[in-house]
Amino acid sequence: MKIISAYVENFGKISQKQFNFDEELTEIDEKNGWGKTTLAMFIKVLLYGFKDTRKKNINENERLKYKPWNNGIYGGNLIIQYKGEKYKIEKSFGKTLREDETTIINLQTNKIDRTFSENIGEDIFKLDRESFERSIYVGQQVVEVRTSDDLRAKLTKLDAIGEDDMDKYKEATSLLDNKIQYLKKKLKVEDERKKYLETRILEYSQIEHAYNNSIDEVKSMRVEKNNILNNIENIEKDIKRHNENQVKEEKRKRFETLKKSRDEKYIEKQEIINFFNQDELERDKNLESLEDGILKQEDRYERNKILRKEIDMLKLKEQYKTEEFDEIKLENLKRDNKILICGVLALIVGLIFLKNIIGIILILVGVVLLGFYMDMNRKKKSEYEILKQKKDKIKLEIEEIQNQIMQFAEEMENNNEQAYEFIKRYIKDISKIDISDGKYLQELHYKRTDLERIINQYEESEKQVREFEENNNIDELMDDETVIETKEKLEIELQRLKDCKEILLHNLTAKEKEVQIFESNFEEKQELEEELQNKEDTIKEFSCYLEKIEKTRKILGQAQENLSTRYLKKMKDGLKKYLDIISENDDNIKDVTINTELEVCIEFEGKSKELGYYSIGYKDLISLATRFALIDAIFDSEKPFIILDDPFVNLDKDKIENANDLIRQISKKYQIIYFTCHESRNIGV
């Protein structure tokens, strides 16, 4: 299989470029940053596509790393020759694998060829991408050779058996490896569980003594709890008796208070009754006659008081009018005399000066003043008459009231005699009452009211005493009981016991839970012992099963090893041939060995040395020779192309010449696309 050309529409920094490749050796010598690695990656991606990853790191995500710099169409095409036919591989890339598009065209028929998959490299080389990179694609700084399942199958020719059979082989080995891994993990888990169970069972054996101590503590705490509860019950009974006695004492005091109030009301009633004539009160229990008599006498005295007040008012009024009359009379008299004198003087002077105008004027003034004086006297006379009439009227009213008072006094005297006789019937000692003053009626009224009030109060007190006696056992109530300790001391002791009870109950509950945990643990111990036995059986069963699986995998691996060893001689011969070319007569490389993992060892002074003992340059040379030997071993008929992305950066000048000779010889057998960035590593084609 050969690459004829490549067209890059947009891939990384390369845009719209055409590349044509020689059938043997194409050397691309450009400076760093030109895009050599990008072009090599383009060829690989056209054959195998991008790795499917969602990583954001650009160095771990090829799709992001080689995204076009100018944001154009992402992709291009590759023209190859395979088994005498030419094919054009067209690819365009999207943001994800699903958005990628692949078209393969047979250029002889110009028709789309659907016999190939999107990853045509796997169909042509029978290698997956990883095996491709470990064989014919030599990336920058990745010369070292490592094996893979596909390479191992190619070496042992298992791929010639058929893909289905090869897949079944891979599936079988994979299943065995997975089963071995699963069984080891399972055995590890089971063994850890077994150790845990053994530890737990040992712990349970060590806590039996603690369990017995907890049982004893629970029993002791329960006895203490019962004692506290009994003491609390006894104290509560004492407090109850104390409360009952207290209630009883309060009732007794209440009864004594009721009786005392009743007796006091009785004495007060008797004192008032003694003031009155009891015989009359008995005959006139409602005291209506006494009340009526008191009211009549009070009415008379009130009327007398009113009349006296009216007389006093009239007298004051009469005195005021008299004083007003006298004052007006005196004032008018003074004023009238002045007018009269002035008038007379004016006439006299006027008569003296009669012939003069002044005399005439004075005469006229005198006449006017005398006329005014006469008119004023006439008006004053009328006012005096009105005042005199009012004054006389007041005198008449006073005389009339005085007559009424005199008449009323006579009536009062008669009424007093009647009242005396009337009141005498009700008052036991009439000499103590001054009936000449109306206040005795008021006192009598108060006594009469007090009597009625005290009678009602006494009857109410008597009723309360009677009801109390009906509702209570008086004999039992009056029976004194021996008083025990004070209630305060009892309540303090009760609270102390309750606090002790709460603390004890809390501790008892905690200790009972602890016992329950112990008991449940002992039950769990039996379960753990049973589980431990089951685990031991399971571990034994899994161990036997694992041993069988490992033997099977070992036999299958040995069979593959036996197949691989058949072709190691060819690999060794090819490696020795290529090492002779690149090392000439180098004493450091005498003999080489290679194992089925493609690990190379070099014989030096009778000892086998791994590549790790050699410099980077030596390792790169030997690894490149191993690559070529590997390619010879796995490709018999259809020869592949080989991509070399500047693999000689670690070689000195002499070794580069030898390496270039090797490339020239290899190019006669395989198509080689060689990238370099320095003229010292040019092959010179």
Arithmetic mean of pLDDT over the chain: 77
In the chain, % of residues over pLDDT 90? 14
Mean pLDDT for the stretch of residues 227-245:
83
Mean pLDDT for the stretch of residues 348-371:
73
Q: Out of 80-89, 446-455, 507-516, give the one with best mean pLDDT.
A: 80-89
Res. 43 pLDDT band, cuts 50 70 90: very high
Instruction: Say if residue 357's pLDDT is above 80.
Output: no
**608-663 tens-digit pLDDT:** 777 777 777 778 888 888 888 888 888 877 789 999 988 877 777 777 887 888 88
Q: Rg (Cα) of the chain, in Å, rounded? A: 74
φ/ψ bin of 148: left (φ > 0), alpha (ψ from -120 to 50), beta (otherwise): beta
350 CB-near residues (< 8 Å, 6+ apart): 359, 360, 361, 362, 363, 364, 365, 366
**372-430 tens-digit pLDDT:** 767 776 766 666 677 677 767 777 776 776 676 676 666 666 656 656 666 666 666 66
pLDDT of residue 19: 95
Mean pLDDT for the stretch of residues 19-43:
91
Mean pLDDT for the stretch of residues 494-501:
87
Partners of 608 in beta bridges: 603
Instruction: Say if residue 437's pLDDT is above 80.
Output: no
Which range is least confidently modeled, 82-86, 265-269, 494-498, 674-678? 265-269
Mean pLDDT for the stretch of residues 25-35:
89
Q: At which residue do the structure tokens 């691309």 appear? A: 28
**CA 400 to chain centroid:** 102
Is the dihedral angle over the CA atoms 269, 275, 279, 281 positive or is it negative?
negative
| Residue bearing the bigger pLDDT, 199 or 518 | 199
- Residue 217 has a CB neighbour count (10 Å cut-off) of 16
Instruction: Say if residue 678's pLDDT is above 70.
Output: yes
Res. 256 pLDDT band, cuts 50 70 90: confident
Mean pLDDT for the stretch of residues 100-112:
93
Pick the closest to residue 642 from 613, 620, 671, 683 (CA basis): 671
What span, in angstroms and rounded, lies between the C-alpha atoms of 516 and 211?
10
| Residue bearing the bigger pLDDT, 483 or 88 | 88
Is residue 546 packed enough to be buried (19+ CB in 10 Å), middle (13-18) or exposed (0-12)?
Answer: middle
Mean pLDDT for the stretch of residues 423-443:
60
What span, in angstroms and rounded, lies between the C-alpha atoms of 100 and 63?
11
Instruction: Say if residue 42's pLDDT is above 90.
Output: yes
Looking at residue 96, the DSSP 8-state letter turns out to be S
**What's the chain's length in residues?**
685
Q: Which two tokens stand for residue 555?
A: 């036999």
Taking CA atoms, 325 is separated from 331, 387, 545, in Å, by 10, 7, 156
What span, in angstroms and rounded, lies between the C-alpha atoms of 3 and 87?
10
46 CB-near residues (< 8 Å, 6+ apart): 6, 76, 77, 78, 89, 91
Instruction: Say if residue 193's pLDDT is above 80.
Output: yes
What span, in angstroms and rounded, lies between the C-alpha atoms of 79 and 82?
10
pLDDT of residue 572: 80
pLDDT of residue 433: 60
Taking CA atoms, 179 is separated from 175, 303, 417, 549, 553, in Å, by 6, 137, 145, 8, 10
Instruction: Say if residue 506's pLDDT is above 70.
Output: yes
* SS3 sequence of 224-288: HHHHHHHHHHHHHHHHHHHHHHHHHHHHHHHHHHHHHHHHHHHHHHHHHHHHECHHHHHHCCCCH
Taking CA atoms, 543 is separated from 176, 195, 553, in Å, by 15, 16, 15
Q: Which two tokens stand for residue 404?
A: 């009424």
| Residue bearing the bigger pLDDT, 238 or 123 | 123
Produce one character per residue of 432-448: b if its CB has 16 or more CB atoms within 10 Å, e if not: ebebeebebbeebbebb
**Beta strands 671-676; 641-645: pairing state:** parallel
Instruction: Say if residue 65's pLDDT is above 80.
Output: yes
Q: What is the identity of the amino acid at 83?
A: K
Taking CA atoms, 473 is separated from 42, 470, 478, 480, 567, in Å, by 120, 8, 9, 13, 127
Instruction: Say if residue 438's pLDDT is above 60.
Output: no
In the chain, % of residues over pLDDT 70? 71
What span, in angstroms and rounded, lies between the C-alpha atoms of 27 and 642?
12
* SS3 sequence of 409-476: HHHHHHHHHHHHHHHHCCECCHHHCCCCCCHHHHHHHHHHHHHHHHHHHHHHHHHHHHHHHHHCCHHH
**508-565 tens-digit pLDDT:** 888 888 877 777 766 677 777 888 888 888 888 888 888 888 888 777 666 666 555 6
- Opening angle at CA 130, ends 26 and 96, nearest 5: 95
pLDDT of residue 643: 93
Res. 161 pLDDT band, cuts 50 70 90: very low
| Residue bearing the bigger pLDDT, 33 or 106 | 106
Residue 646 backbone phi and psi in degrees, to 5? 50, 65
**273-331 tens-digit pLDDT:** 776 666 555 555 545 555 566 666 566 656 666 666 666 666 656 565 565 555 555 55
Q: DSSP characters for 500-553?
A: HHHHHHHHHHHHHHHHHHHHHHHHHHHHHHHHHHHHHHHHHHHHHHHHHHHHHH
**CA 540 to chain centroid:** 53
Instruction: Say if residue 189's pLDDT is above 70.
Output: yes
Q: Which two tokens stand for residue 174?
A: 């994979």
| Residue bearing the bigger pLDDT, 206 or 139 | 139
Q: Which strand (E) or helix (H) includes residue 18?
A: strand 14-20
What span, in angstroms and rounded, lies between the C-alpha atoms of 259 and 465?
6
Q: Out of 64-68, 181-185, 447-451, 508-512, give the one with best mean pLDDT.
A: 64-68
Looking at residue 27, the DSSP 8-state letter turns out to be E
pLDDT of residue 592: 76
Residue 18 backbone phi and psi in degrees, to 5? -110, 135
H-state helical runs in 116-206: 120-125, 129-133, 149-155, 163-206
Taking CA atoms, 412 is separated from 408, 444, 612, in Å, by 6, 18, 160
**Beta strands 75-82; 111-112: pairing state:** unpaired
